[in-house]
Amino acid sequence: MRKLCPNVEKEDALETILEVPIPEEMFNTMGTTSTSRCQNMLTWMKAQSSDKWSSPLVLARIDELCFLLYHVGSPVIPLQVQLDNLHCAVRDSTIQASTAKYIVQQYIAATGGQSAISGIKSMCVIGQAKIGATAFHLGDQVVKGKSTEEAGGFVLWQKNPDLWYLEFVVSGCKVCSGSNGKVSWRQSSSKRSLGIGPPRPSRRFLQGLDPRATANLFIDAVCIGEKVVNNEDCFILKLEPSQSTLDAQSGPKYEIIHHTIWGYFSQRSGLLLQFEDSRMIRLKANVKNDDGDGVFWETSAESVIEDYRYVDGVNIAHSGKTSMRVFRYGEHSASHQRKIEETWKIEEVDLNILGLSSDFFLPPSEKKADSLIKRK
């Protein structure tokens, strides 16, 4: 991963530290020589803070990349994970619920034990990813277009499941998303307006990165059976948020109709080997007088999780692959579907970051206002 960019304007100047490290593969596509690559990277970095883009063709490409990044980086899990919720009584639970609690306890042991995962107060994760997407399918027809694959890097910061920040850079496009405990948000380099919603955890931390959040999420699940994943027998845990939870996570312009979450835990090792979720939302056609019509978006995502390694006594997944299907239909909207695939690899994990304050997780507009107040 490249973390520094040489200063092409002054030879004796210090190198620039990249906010988001990028893979060498991405850097190598920026030019034919080292000088041209550095110059193109400098131009790209300046473009991130510019409101003007060079051409409609560039805009179309940025919008395409934002579509991919929004789906793989947005806060979509409609639950607030309650920490220290692992000592639930099983006396009055059903067999399926008590079995799930036992499986979660095995998972806790496999990831380092209760003491180790309870000691995670914050983390920083640096990784790289390759994202690809198929062409749009319009009804039963394939719209002209080709599959794409782009390389990029990301940085994740977290203080608790509702206090996190993600920066994702892919081929010249940057998307930021996060949650400050009160709202979750997302923003792209081409569209400065913020997308705001209720506080939610990031799906990425539930892909083997944060055992504490994963255990607390599935402690209220039920065991529904078994399945073979990567040639290993796994228990299947299923979690369905209540209707009141879905209503609370819905917004004035959209309604979450359902969201189901599955976790596949190895019977041999106890580790989470696959994380899956499926949701349907409805964008309301008429916000003031909602008649049930609108555009429906159905999204299903499946993440296969691999390469567990210990970091400060905690067993954390360091690679995986996510496959996502997006399907849109409804009134005044042509039905179309698309498949997105992401292969990710974790390069660095640091736990318990000193000096990481809650102000770091504020949405961009609030960060700017807060900095101006402090200057005064």
In whole angstroms, what is the distance from residue 121 CA to residue 321 CA? 27
3-state secondary structure of 213: helix
β partners of residue 325:
300, 339
pLDDT of residue 325: 87
Q: What is residue 15's DSSP assignment?
A: P
Contact between 66 and 186 (Cβ < 8 Å): no
* CA terminus-to-terminus distance, the chain: 38
pTM, rounded to two decimals:
0.81
> Does 1.10.150.120 match the CATH number of domain 73-375?
no
pLDDT of residue 106: 95
pLDDT of residue 94: 87
pLDDT of residue 222: 95
Map out the domains of the chain as residue ranges. 2-67, 73-375
Contact between 320 and 207 (Cβ < 8 Å): yes
Q: What is the pLDDT along the chain (376 residues), one digit of tens a residue?
A: 666 666 656 666 666 666 666 666 666 666 666 666 666 655 555 554 444 444 444 445 556 666 666 666 665 676 666 666 666 556 667 899 999 999 999 999 999 999 999 888 899 999 998 888 776 666 555 554 455 678 888 999 998 778 899 888 877 677 888 888 888 888 776 666 567 778 888 888 889 999 998 998 899 899 999 999 999 999 999 999 888 888 888 877 888 888 899 999 999 999 999 999 998 888 887 767 666 778 888 889 999 999 999 999 999 999 999 998 888 887 666 677 778 888 999 999 999 998 888 888 888 775 443 443 344 3
Tokens of 116: 């180790």
Contact between 356 and 173 (Cβ < 8 Å): no
Contacts of 202 (CB under 8 A, 6+ apart): 75, 77, 156, 158, 164, 166, 177, 179
Tell me the CB-side half-sphere exposure of residue 288, using CA atoms within 13 A.
0
